[in-house]
Amino acid sequence: MGRIIFTLLLAVVLSIGQITHSAWADKIVFACLFDGQAHSDICMINSDGSNLRRLTESPKSKAWPTWSPDKKTIVFGHTNKLWLMDADGNNLRVLKEDVSFDLRTAWSPDGSKIAYGVIFAINIIDIDTKEERLLKLPQNMVRIKEVAWSPDGRQLAFAADADLPTRDIYVVNTDYVRNEEGIGLRQLTQHPGEDRTPTWSPDGKQIAFYSTRNETGGIFFMDADGSNITELTNDGEKTPSWSPDGKQIAVHVFPGPPQIGAEGIAVGPIPGKPHIRVMDADGRNSEFIAVGHSPSWQSTFPSLAVQPVEKLTLTWGQIKSD
């Protein structure tokens, strides 16, 4: 009887955890733009375009909001600082001062660290202790601003201008010891145009990125080793972010005519301002959801993927039968 009660309580706890994560799994944070406003704030929206929430409001721009793996915290850049806030916009605090506010950061899979690019290196900062560790890179690598942590925690993908004026995508080991084998640095792309904003698929098998290797620029996929580069879009789409299940992609792109809703809030594209679109991972069913840029959707880490209700029911059925 005791074992049955324990397993029942365990099943309930797991179910609550999955329901909580499911409630957040379909939300996207992004740098939002409102009609008549020159600066960007941080907003949250459902992936179907419903329930837009404004999380910050100040006269200076905020950039590159990024979810923590547990979807409880958002990091973003503002006034040359890295900031943290709770998912509801409360508990605002500074993580790091004197950094470029216009850079994309990356959370470690366990949520304990944040990585971001600096000159000739990637800096990794511990959230709790604020201790920092530099992954030093070759001296020809500058402007490292776009970092993405692999789902297994072993690599960081990033874009760098190693051969100006081009920008290519590289990966480096996160816990290397410099020796005769080097630092695990590998170049994944090499093209006369720009390749940037890499982001790992939730299963770690693919990397989506922006490239100008076509005439208009767009989103491309490649395998995690840099092979099998394929075009997804060709209409100038940028900053891809995968859905938690890997079936969709959020991007930003510059739009057509606007649609302004109640209280002056833009519900359609604004000319000259980027907007967020969500599409299937094969490029079909692209839908406008908000005015803004730099979407962050998934946490990239499969251990936090939402389990279907059917799987939870099956799990409880197995517990009960035992």
CATH code (residue 179): 2.120.10
Q: What one-letter code names the amino acid at 51?
A: N
pLDDT(147) > 70? yes
Q: pLDDT confidence of 262, banded at 50, 70, 90?
A: low
Number of structural domains (the chain) is: 1
**SS3 assignment, position 121:** strand
Rounded Cα distance between 134 and 117, Å, is 10
Rounded Cα distance between 148 and 105, Å, is 7
Neighbours of 130 (CB within 10 A): 10
Q: What is the DSSP string of 236-255?
A: --EEEEE-TTSSEEEEEE--
Closest listed residue to residue 76, CA positions, set 39, 59, 101, 107: 101
74 part of a folded domain: no
Give residue for tokens 């409102």: 34
Q: pLDDT confidence of 229, banded at 50, 70, 90?
A: very high
Give residue for tokens 């979807």: 71
Sign of CA dihedral 151, 156, 158, 162: negative
Whole-number Cα distances in Å, 316 to 7, 15, 26, 90, 309: 9, 10, 25, 36, 11
Cβ-contact 66, 148 below 8 angstroms: no
Residue-range definition of the domain harbouring residue 275: 2-62+104-321
Rounded Cα distance between 268 and 257, Å, is 8
Rounded Cα distance between 98 and 83, Å, is 12
259 part of a folded domain: yes
71 part of a folded domain: no
Rounded Cα distance between 170 and 187, Å, is 4
Q: For 167, which DSSP code?
A: B
pLDDT(13) > 50? no
219 part of a folded domain: yes
Q: What is the DSSP string of 77-115?
A: EETTEEEEEETTS-S-EEEEESS-SS-B-EE-TTSSEEE
246 part of a folded domain: yes
Q: pLDDT confidence of 244, banded at 50, 70, 90?
A: very high
Instruction: Name the least confident of 48-57, 242-251, 313-322.
Output: 313-322
Rounded Cα distance between 4 and 7, Å, is 5
Cis bond upstream, residue 240 (ω within 30): no
The secondary structure element, H or E, covering residue 221 is strand 218-223
pLDDT(257) > 90? no
77 part of a folded domain: no
Rounded Cα distance between 149 and 204, Å, is 10
pLDDT digits (tens, 9 = 90+) for 26-84: 899 999 988 777 789 999 999 999 999 999 988 888 999 999 999 999 999 999 999 99
Instruction: Name the least confident of 96-105, 112-121, 291-300, 306-315.
Output: 306-315
Rounded Cα distance between 105 and 162, Å, is 20
88 part of a folded domain: no
82 part of a folded domain: no
pLDDT(259) > 50? yes
